[in-house]
Structure 1
Amino acid sequence: MKVSKENIIQNVLPPELKNEIEKGFFEGDVLKEKIVNYVEGYAANLKKCNISQASIRKIYESFKNLQLRMHQELMKNLSDNLTSADFEKAEEEAYRRIAPFLKLMRSKSRYAVEKKKGELGKKDDNEKEGYQSLSEFIDLCINNIKTKKDFDAFMDLFECIVANLKEA
Structure 2
Amino acid sequence: MNFVAIDFETANGKRDSACSLALTVVQNNQIVDELYSLIKPESDFFWRNIQIHGIKPEMVADSPKFNELWPHIQQFFGPDQIVVAHNARFDNSVLKKTLEHYQLPEPHYLSLDTLATSHAFYKGLPNYRLNTVCDALNINLEHHHNALDDCEACANILLEQIDHFGTPALKPYVQSV
Q: Provide TM-score, normalisation by structure 1.
A: 0.28
Higher relative contact order (CA 8 A, sep 6+): 1
Could you say which structure has the larger radius of gyration? 1
